[in-house]
Amino acid sequence: MTTPSAPDRPIRVLVAKAGLDGHDRGAKVVAAALRDAGFEVVYTGLRQTPEMIVEAALQEDVDAVGLSIHSGAHMTLFPRVVALLAARGLSHVLVTGGGIIPPADAAALEAQGVGRLFGPGTPTRDLVEYLRTTVGERRARRAVASG
């Protein structure tokens, strides 16, 4: 019998629009592409607070949170989600995402624990490959640590 967090279950990703950003076309495209690639996807909709996102991540037992941000608030929202996940014992959940994020900011966010960030025009297959590889590696490390 497998558990919901078993390594062989489909990768579960929460796609969220954090903050007051009302542009969700990219998030919907990403959610559909991930679903088409065999991922389980939870889309939270617009105007989510970091607290709402982390609560949904906990309730949905996700492997990754993908934040879509075009409002310029990425240097506040990404670190807040990472910190709240850690506070809830969810440090194993990958935080990734995309939007309009300057390369210097992406590097600073990576140093704070955020995964790879994807800009406009990135082929969705790049995101699918990244999630499969990175979540797979994280699952393997957790299995070794708990086993």
Q: Does residue 3 fall inside a structural domain?
A: no
How many domains does the chain divide into?
A: 1
Model confidence pLDDT, tens digit, residues 24-41: 888 999 999 999 999 999
More confident residue, 49 or 19: 49
Q: How far apart are CA 81 and CA 86, in angstroms?
A: 9
pTM above 0.95, yes or no: no
Q: Does residue 138 fall inside a structural domain?
A: yes
Write down the pLDDT at residue 1: 32
Q: Does residue 1 fall inside a structural domain?
A: no
Write down the pLDDT at residue 104: 97
Neighbours of 111 (CB within 10 A): 8
Q: Does residue 7 fall inside a structural domain?
A: no
Report whether 112 contacts 142 (CB < 8 A).
no
Q: How far apart are CA 82 and CA 37, in angstroms?
A: 26
Q: Does residue 131 fall inside a structural domain?
A: yes
Is the pLDDT assigned to residue 3 strictly greater than 80? no
Is the pLDDT assigned to residue 21 strictly greater than 80? no
What CATH number should be reported for the domain holding residue 102?
3.40.50.280
Q: Does residue 107 fall inside a structural domain?
A: yes
Neighbours of 44 (CB within 10 A): 20
Model confidence pLDDT, tens digit, residues 88-121: 999 999 999 999 999 999 999 999 999 999 999 9
Structural domain harbouring 102: 12-146
Is the pLDDT assigned to residue 83 strictly greater than 60? yes
Mean pLDDT of 137-144: 93
Q: Does residue 2 fall inside a structural domain?
A: no
Q: Does residue 60 fall inside a structural domain?
A: yes
